Amino acid sequence: MTNAPADLPVVVIGAGPAGLAAAAAHLTQRGLAPLVLEAGPAAAHAVRGWAHVRLFSTWDEVVDPAAEKLLAPTGWTRPDPETYPSGGDWAEQYLQPLADVLGDRVRFGARVTGVSRVGRDRIVDADRDQQPFDVHITRADGREERVLARAVIDASGTWTTPSPAGGSGLAALGERAAAARITYRVPDLKDPAVRARYAGKRTAVIGSGASAFTALAYLADLAKSDDGTDTKGVWVLRRGISGSTFGGGEADQLPARGALGLAAKAAVDEGHADAVTGFRTKEIERNAEGRLALVGEDGRRLEPVDEVIVLTGFRPDLSFLNELRLGLDERLQAPVELAPLIDPNQHSCGTVYPHGHRALSHPEPGVYLVGMKSYGRAPTFLAMTGYEQVRSVAAALAGDLEAADRTELTLPETGVCCGAGLFDDPAAAQSDAAGSCATPEPELVQLGGAPVAATAGGCCGS
């Protein structure tokens, strides 16, 4: 624990689900003064970026209990707990009211550009823990400010730093030059301008998670509509098709998440998308007509497409934390104590245990990465996991280690078997009947079988 003055605020970076739960609910409940710094112009700025996407968690699973108690005196009531909010619903009906309760303890248009210790860069040991945190901010109008803090909770998420199309983790050759034809978000096909961009076009979707499922389902719906004739998806996977590719299906304890995978399967089964497996993108070439051809590491060249949707995950922006002493796993860029619990090379969602301040701590006392940011490059984060994290961190900052060390959450099982790393390991290939992962030879496949209808889609959105 840091020994910085107790009268200073706890700075929370990001006014999203985890940040507002930490500040508005748990820190306030503990008698600690929060100061939330949000780069965007409103609460839940990142969530609003996918306002059109429906979560696969119900309202009952995305409202923090402590936050609900804080909101109760304002007359706020939880929406129907059994329904599934969209990102826009979540932002407007829950997160914005939560920010309103905090009032001037939330500053919008305040981008954190650096965090350190006052008078100490990351090299200096002398009296380091006695110094408050030095948080530098750039306001929307360009003004620079400095805020001192007793502790820092980074809940800024990963939304602003999507991973590229390149199979090596770097941008594919030509990817930046083709930026006008590439998006890294699930497109809102209810927006007429966006819809026109994809209607009747051939679109590559690169990725294998919930966001890719959502994009495939949206494109399939467009293909079935009157204005979507000839719309076609090309699903580009770095691994093969196996029984676990489409998630847990009906076995998933989050039914809408299972239905989302089944919707993606239906898109392929019905011929609205072809799946290209074992394809790692090396280059994106643009032809004379402006269409894009994906070239794989193995030399394969896919038929040109009009648009590319890259949904290969996100990664944390650690640049503004460079003067702090963080303990991060070399692969996942997650806290070293947390990384073994969430490593997709070893775990599925169903084997990730709830965790708190100890798994989130760093060599620099008083700094915590929470929410999506805490998972680094690991996927499948749930909002309820973030709420448990910030409950524990707030208790630890208040000195209540008994509460901080207590687990107050039971997570649902996922039904999703394996992470990307296992698919890349030939020794890990086993039969689908065993519920694990297979690595078939790269091929263009058209899945057979009767289409399976799905009624809900969305992403974790946490």
Average pLDDT, the chain: 85
Distance CA 446, CA 166 (A): 24
Distance CA 305, CA 297 (A): 18
Edge-to-edge strands of the sheet including 110-117? 110-117, 133-139, 144-149
User: pLDDT digits over 331-387, tens only?
Assistant: 999 999 999 988 887 755 555 678 999 999 999 999 999 999 999 999 878 888 999
Structural element, H or E, at residue 65? helix 65-71
- Residue 259 tokens read as 């239905």
Distance CA 40, CA 111 (A): 8
User: pLDDT digits over 151-196, tens only?
Assistant: 999 999 999 999 999 999 999 999 999 999 999 999 999 999 999 9
| DSSP single-letter state for residue 346 | T
Q: What is the pLDDT of residue 255?
A: 52
Structural element, H or E, at residue 307? strand 307-310
234 touches 273 (CB < 8 A): yes
- pTM summary value: 0.85
Average pLDDT over residues 22-38: 93
